[in-house]
A and B are shown apart, each in its own frame.
Chain A
Amino acid sequence: MKKFLDNRNTLGLMFMLPAGVLLLVFLTYPLGLGTWLGFTDAKIGRPGQWVGLENYEFLWGDSVTRLALFNTLFYTVVASVLKFFLGLWLAILLNERIPFKSFFRAAILLPYIVPTALSAIAFWWMFDAQFSVISWVLTRMGWIHGYIDFLGDPWNARFSVIAANVWRGVPFVAITLLAGLQTISPTLYEAAAIDGATGWQRFWHVTLPLLTPIIAVVMTFSVLFTFTDFQLIYVITRGGPLNATHLMATLSFQRAISGGALGEGAAIAIAMVPFLLAAIMFSYFGLQRRAWQQGGSDK
């Protein structure tokens, strides 16, 4: 037994075992089961039979699924871009010497700390067709004469839920980028200043290149979270109006759980995987593994 425990390989394997089991049980198995269900006509309470690609063939021709795919891509791209620029801007501001810096750094995390369901309910009220505080203020100021139909018009609704997502997601991007900014040595900025670099040049040639690895990580996570968003939509619109805000995740839930079509719902969920993989690959190969980060130079 002692000999067995003295073996480094055996010990390593033993220490890895709990993590391996956790991954197998809570990640690999559900993913495998979801993939399997996507090829069956399983219903809730019934195992279902193998139907091959039938679910995917139907979904490809299904107008609601195609709309949900468009909505998801639009939602992800617009929200992620906005979150990146706003987050970067906030991070740079908070990295400067400003009064009450610690307070602002803590306060900025608030939207991220509030439970999503609660903030979603707040946005639901703010965007309400009859009780919107935004419309109320604008009406009082005389800027508009009728309440804005934030959630009743398809495009208004899309931008409204994007606004809610951006509000919630910006702190994560800002704080992570701020941590990245603080790892950049001040000597680099001093050297740049001595060389006569302008503020923009310092940002472009010092800050941005050194921040890129962090940007890659934070935006990968941000894109993944946004693409798989569920709670905001479920609380604010349930996918309406006219399915204009249905995302793949909400549609998958609607079909699989509310509607009982487990196989079809699983197929929608699995159809998200290639897009998520593409986002990860782009981040990994496009941003993280740049030659200059490993001591070489970009060609």
Chain B
Amino acid sequence: MSKMKRREFLKVTAGVAAGAAAPMIWVKDAHAQWNNKPEKGAKLRVLRWSRFVQGDIDQYMKNVQAFSAKYGIEVRVDNEGWEDVRPKAAVAANTGAGPDIILSTHDDANMYPEKLVDVTDLATYLGKKYGGWYPVCEAYLRPNGKNWIGIPLGCAGNTLVYRESHVKAAGFSSFPRDTDGFLKLMKALKEKGTPGGFALGNATGDGNVWTHWLIWAFGASLVDKANKVVINSPETIKALEYAKELYATFVPGTLSWLDPNNNKAFLDGQVSCTPNGISIYYAAKTSQDPKLKEMAGDINHANMPIGPAGVPTELNLFFNQMIFKYSKYPKAAKEFIRFMMEQEQYGPWMQAAIGYVTHPLVAYEKNPIWTVDPKHTPYRDSMKIMRPIGYAGRMGYASAGAAADFIVVNMVAEAASGSKSPKEAAERAQKRAERYYKV
């Protein structure tokens, strides 16, 4: 689908909607049992991250209304910028007061697991009914291998968003699958005057996502399985040398880029390749601007290239759903999450956001949103192939602190920009990380 007109777009979305109205796409265990009775007179407060795409919040609120209508439970939903949810959730955990349910990111639940309601029964029910959870879900929310401390909501998948015509003009008939080929492409794009650009400022989302992919692609990691800091390694040095070559192909100014910068630059035609969620494509596709509509036809997506590690090494923004123990209505809260995760609600929600959030349950792979437009397909596997942010160790305060302090982002930025040699940058990262992992 090179160019999608408004009428065509309506046709395909109508097709998707028809698919959603069909019976269950897959029920692995039709006997999955769920017995839960919400408390009488329950009211719920939900705090969630603000939408990245409009369709998300529109459909989410429709589902909320459907829940309220069915159960007679009033639900208030507050929205905050996703980076502001973490401190609010932390304060709620600390003070024992706040929203009943918080939709947060990455390893937040691992910082205060004892403050959260055990949702093993709900996770087991949903897992059985919908073909199981992807492994990364357990890494995040089943830290002891037994109890679930939250219910996965999915992730904002990241792929390489690129301009097909620019890649072809650079001499590539298809998008490279490995890091060597990718570097060649980026050099060719630069030579053609259509460079790429990746965020290297203190960008919580985009910065962490691609720099973690990079070091993992070369077999490096911040910590090993025993949570020992091992970032100062030969693999890291190789990754940083690669970063230096890659940085030379970027559009100027990426050292200052925060999360919104690459979206703006791409949609303005200044960048032809950048790692991002599907939001760039969504913005172009749903825009009234003819130029952007035309650009949507030229946009395509590819999964992050595979490096010497030989396997996909993506990091995506993981979303969890936590119920706090201070909630007066834990059963109603569980019921709410169950309701929102069921096919009847979750499917249309995925579609409304054209796949901005990738599902955590295997059965939802078959949702038509992933195939109705081939450009959506690379995002389908984001949960399946991603690694948790604390890879290869355990998650908790240390992994959260290290990511929030931009240790990996800063290390890559220092080496890439030449302000430090790869060796110096890796040594500095090792010292900084050791503080969090308390060596």
Q: Are A62 and B435 in contact (CB under 8 A)?
A: yes
Contact of B201 among A240, A259, A260 (CB under 8 A): A240
Interfacial residues of chain A within 150-166, with CB under 8 A of chain B in the complex: 150-154, 157
Whether A130 sits at the interface, judged by CB under 8 Å, is yes
CA of A45 to CA of B326, assembled, Å? 13
**B115: chain A residues within 8 A (beta carbon):** 45
**B432: chain A residues within 8 A (beta carbon):** 62-64
Contact of B256 among A64, A149, A257, A258 (CB under 8 A): A149
Q: Are B255 and A242 in contact (CB under 8 A)?
A: yes
Determine the residue in chain B with the shortest Cβ distance to A238: B202
**B256: chain A residues within 8 A (beta carbon):** 127, 129, 149-152, 157, 237, 240-241
Interfacial residues of chain B within 184-225, with CB under 8 A of chain A in the complex: 200-204
Whether A58 sits at the interface, judged by CB under 8 Å, is yes
CA of A151 to CA of B67, assembled, Å? 47
Determine the residue in chain A with the shortest Cβ distance to B86: A258
Interfacial residues of chain A within 40-87, with CB under 8 A of chain B in the complex: 43-46, 58, 62-64
Q: Are B397 and A260 in contact (CB under 8 A)?
A: yes
Q: Are B264 and A260 in contact (CB under 8 A)?
A: no
Q: Are A44 and B83 in contact (CB under 8 A)?
A: no
By the criterion of a CB under 8 Å from any partner CB, how many residues of chain A are at the interface?
A: 36
Given contacts A241-B256, A242-B410, contact A258 B93 (CB under 8 A): no
CA of A43 to CA of B93, assembled, Å? 11
Min CB–CB distance B254 → chain A (angstroms): 7
Contact of B202 among A146, A147, A239 (CB under 8 A): A239
CA of A260 to CA of B110, assembled, Å? 11
Q: Are B93 and A129 in contact (CB under 8 A)?
A: no
Interfacial residues of chain A within 241-267, with CB under 8 A of chain B in the complex: 241-243, 254-255, 257-261
Determine the residue in chain A with the shortest Cβ distance to B403: A259
Whether B400 sits at the interface, judged by CB under 8 Å, is yes
Given contacts A64-B432, A130-B270, A257-B86, contact A237 B201 (CB under 8 A): yes
Whether B164 sits at the interface, judged by CB under 8 Å, is no
Whether B261 sits at the interface, judged by CB under 8 Å, is yes
Min CB–CB distance B253 → chain A (angstroms): 2
Determine the residue in chain A with the shortest Cβ distance to B409: A240
**A254: chain B residues within 8 A (beta carbon):** 404-405
Given contacts A45-B115, A58-B435, contact A131 B397 (CB under 8 A): no
Binary flags per residue of A189-201, CB closer than 8 Å to B gives 1, else 0: 0000000000000
Binary flags per residue of B86-98, CB closer than 8 Å to A gives 1, else 0: 1100110110000
CA of A193 to CA of B112, assembled, Å? 73
Determine the residue in chain B with the shortest Cβ distance to A160: B256
Q: Are B254 and A257 in contact (CB under 8 A)?
A: no
Tell which of B204, B256, B428 has the most Cβ of chain A within 10 Å. Answer: B256
SS class, residues of chain A in contact with chain B: loop
Tell which of B87, B115, B202, B204 has the most Cβ of chain A within 10 Å. Answer: B202
Q: Which of B51-59, B139-147, B412-420 contacts A (4 or more CB under 8 A)?
A: B412-420
Whether B401 sits at the interface, judged by CB under 8 Å, is yes
CA of A259 to CA of B254, assembled, Å? 24
CA of A60 to CA of B115, assembled, Å? 33
Min CB–CB distance B312 → chain A (angstroms): 28
Whether B280 sits at the interface, judged by CB under 8 Å, is no
Min CB–CB distance A131 → chain B (angstroms): 7
Q: Are B94 and A260 in contact (CB under 8 A)?
A: no
Q: Are A152 and B254 in contact (CB under 8 A)?
A: yes
CA of A131 to CA of B251, assembled, Å? 13
Q: Are A241 and B265 in contact (CB under 8 A)?
A: no
Q: Are B264 and A241 in contact (CB under 8 A)?
A: no
Q: Are B428 and A260 in contact (CB under 8 A)?
A: no
**B264: chain A residues within 8 A (beta carbon):** 128, 130-131
Given contacts A147-B253, A151-B256, A152-B254, contact A260 B111 (CB under 8 A): yes
Min CB–CB distance B426 → chain A (angstroms): 14
**B200: chain A residues within 8 A (beta carbon):** 241
CA of A63 to CA of B87, assembled, Å? 25
Could you list which residues of chain B lie within 8 angstroms of chain A, going by C-beta atoms? 83, 86-87, 90-91, 93-94, 111-112, 115, 200-204, 251-258, 261, 264-265, 268, 270, 397, 400-402, 404-405, 410, 413-414, 417, 419, 428, 431-432, 435-436
Q: List 13 A-B contacts (CB under 8 A).
A: A44-B90, A58-B435, A129-B256, A129-B257, A130-B261, A130-B270, A153-B255, A237-B201, A240-B202, A242-B255, A259-B402, A260-B90, A261-B436
Known: A128-B264, A241-B256, A258-B87. 7 other contacts (CB 8 A): A45-B93, A45-B111, A45-B115, A58-B435, A64-B432, A131-B268, A254-B405
Closest 3 CB pairs of A and B: A129-B253, A45-B112, A151-B256
